[in-house]
């Protein structure tokens, strides 16, 4: 069942449209992330859901009740901010129990709930400490415990892990996931860090310039991106300019310089002949060979310009007439300056209208 329903949400700040006609929903118990570059409107959406910002247009419903007009403290929603906003003059336990005290929960009940929360976030025995005696990761846990203590329907997170180093961030994201599943609370998480979001979310909302590009699981966004923006934002992608030569009901034929390739039409790329498009292919779908033996649907000559080891894979940057291509391959050994053949199968590529993203550096 849908817990949160956001419909046609728009927010304008004078002449800046920060959020444009955004609609999505979040099911009860779901972990949904909103991801997008800095300035794409993520915080503004969260602030409207929390009640700190009034929408210009649209509707926000929690359990079918309209929230617009309801003051923040009357919404059954808590928010964890990037700067955590812990009270420095209160102990850890007092920080966690603060919201309960505000709503008149009795002392004994407060102590019991606070103790349970300290256990939940693995901070047993830290209750009497001051927040400034805690590490960054421990402070994160306190902020999380404080947001969960009164058992809200929904917890909103605005980039809470972005100040932590990578290792701690990965640890905390696993913790978030554990706590979310243990409490069954619904989480709406906002970040520009796709690495965190992809690993923890049931579904993701990809935002670009105030508008939704695509909504789906990490896997579906990666496997079937609906725009060059999503293909590029979710993981790495090579982009090659091409022109549509012909479309039939089942096939699209494109030309990349003088190479033609036809591939099965999946229905999600409405293009017609003459259109300028971008062919997108993931680096691990690109193969590199020193002879024309791979028999690709689409291939070109190139020269290795860079080579780097990444665990079991080798990443090559190859200069080709189509631009610089990145290939992530196993087992083959080429050196810088080697002439090679680079290619991929038609099944492994996506095509999108060229206008969607300006030409950019290949990853």
Give the contacts of 133 (CB within 8 A, at least 6 positions apart). Answer: none
39 binds ligand ADP (CB under 6 A): yes
Residue nearer to ligand ADP on the CB measure, 189 or 322? 189
Shortest Å distance, C-beta 19 to Mg ion: 12
Which of Mg ion, ligand ADP, none lies near 41, with the C-beta cut-off 5 to 8 A by kind?
ligand ADP
Beta-sheet pairing, 16-27 with 2-13: antiparallel
One symbol per residue from 71 to 100: x for binding Mg ion (CB under 5 A), - otherwise; what is it?
A: ------------------------------
Question: In this structure, are residues 33 and 197 in contact, taking their beta carbons and an 8 Å threshold?
Answer: yes
Sheet holding 65-66, edge to edge: 16-27, 2-13, 57-62, 65-66
Q: Which residues pair with 11 in a beta bridge?
A: 19
Q: Pick from 33, 44, 191, 247: which binds ligand ADP (CB under 6 A)?
A: 44
* Tokens matching residue 348: 């492994």
Q: How many residues bind Mg ion (CB under 5 A)?
A: 1
43 binds ligand ADP (CB under 6 A): yes
> Quick one: 242 exposed, middle or buried, by C-beta within 10 A (0-12, 13-18, 19+)?
buried
Beta-sheet pairing, 16-27 with 31-35: unpaired
DSSP assignment of 222-257, as one string?
HHS-SSHHHHHHSS--EEEEEEEEEE-SSEEEEEET
Which of ligand ADP, Mg ion, none lies near 186, with the C-beta cut-off 5 to 8 A by kind?
none
40 binds ligand ADP (CB under 6 A): yes
Residue nearer to Mg ion on the CB measure, 18 or 244? 18
* Candidates 35-43, 235-243, 246-254, 323-331; binding stretch for Mg ion (CB under 5 A): 35-43
The residue assigned the tokens 């060979």 is: 289
Shortest Å distance, C-beta 313 to ligand ADP: 32
Residue nearer to ligand ADP on the CB measure, 72 or 241? 72
Which of Mg ion, ligand ADP, none lies near 99, with the C-beta cut-off 5 to 8 A by kind?
none
Q: Which residues pair with 323 in a beta bridge?
A: 320
Round to whole Å and give the CA distance between 7 and 22. 6
Round to whole Å and give the CA distance between 221 and 294. 28
43 binds Mg ion (CB under 5 A): yes
Residue sitting closest to Mg ion (CB): 43
Shortest Å distance, C-beta 14 to ligand ADP: 7
41 binds ligand ADP (CB under 6 A): yes
* Candidates 34-42, 94-102, 125-133, 236-244; binding stretch for ligand ADP (CB under 6 A): 34-42
Which of ligand ADP, Mg ion, none lies near 258, with the C-beta cut-off 5 to 8 A by kind?
none
> Is residue 315 within a helix (H) or strand (E), and if so which, with residue range?
strand 313-320
> Is residue 221 within a helix (H) or strand (E), and if so which, with residue range?
helix 218-223
* Candidates 39-47, 90-98, 261-269, 321-329; binding stretch for ligand ADP (CB under 6 A): 39-47
Q: Which residues bind Mg ion (CB under 5 A)?
A: 43
Q: Which residues bind ligand ADP (CB under 6 A)?
A: 13, 16, 18, 36, 38-44
């Amino acid at each position: 069942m849908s817990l949160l329903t956001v419909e046609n949400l728009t927010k304008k700040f004078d002449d800046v449209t920060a959020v444009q006609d955004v609609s999505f929903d979040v099911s009860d118990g779901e972990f949904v992330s909103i991801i997008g570059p800095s300035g794409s409107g993520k915080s503004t959406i969260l602030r409207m859901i929390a009640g700190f910002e009034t929408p210009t247009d649209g509707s926000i419903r929690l359990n079918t009740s309209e929230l617009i007009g309801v003051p923040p403290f009357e919404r059954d929603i808590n928010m964890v901010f990037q700067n955590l906003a812990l009270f420095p003059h209160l102990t850890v336990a007092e920080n966690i129990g603060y919201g309960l005290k505000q709503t008149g929960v009795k002392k004994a009940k407060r102590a019991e709930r606070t103790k349970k929360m300290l256990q939940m976030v693995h901070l047993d025995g830290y209750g009497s400490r001051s927040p400034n005696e805690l590490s960054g990761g421990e402070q994160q846990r306190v902020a999380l415990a404080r947001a969960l203590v009164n058992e809200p329907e929904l917890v909103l997170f605005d980039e809470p892990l972005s100040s932590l180093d990578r290792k701690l961030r990965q640890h905390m994201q696993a913790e978030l996931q554990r706590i979310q599943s243990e409490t069954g609370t619904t989480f709406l998480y906002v970040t520009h860090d796709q690495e965190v979001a992809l690993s923890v979310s049931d579904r993701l909302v990809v935002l670009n310039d105030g508008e939704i590009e695509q909504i789906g699981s990490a896997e579906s966004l990666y496997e079937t991106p609906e725009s060059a923006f999503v293909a590029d934002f979710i993981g790495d992608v090579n982009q090659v300019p091409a022109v549509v030569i012909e479309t039939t009901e089942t096939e699209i034929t494109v030309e990349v310089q003088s190479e033609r390739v036809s591939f099965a039409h999946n229905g999600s790329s409405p293009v017609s002949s003459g259109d300028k498009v971008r062919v997108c292919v993931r680096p691990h779908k690109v193969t590199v060979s020193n002879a024309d033996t791979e028999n690709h649907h689409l291939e070109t000559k190139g020269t290795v310009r860079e080579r780097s080891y990444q665990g079991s894979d080798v990443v090559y940057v190859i200069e080709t007439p189509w631009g610089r291509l990145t290939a992530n391959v196993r087992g083959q050994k080429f050196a810088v300056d080697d002439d090679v053949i680079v290619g991929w199968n038609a099944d492994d590529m996506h095509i999108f209208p060229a206008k969607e993203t300006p030409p950019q550096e290949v990853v």
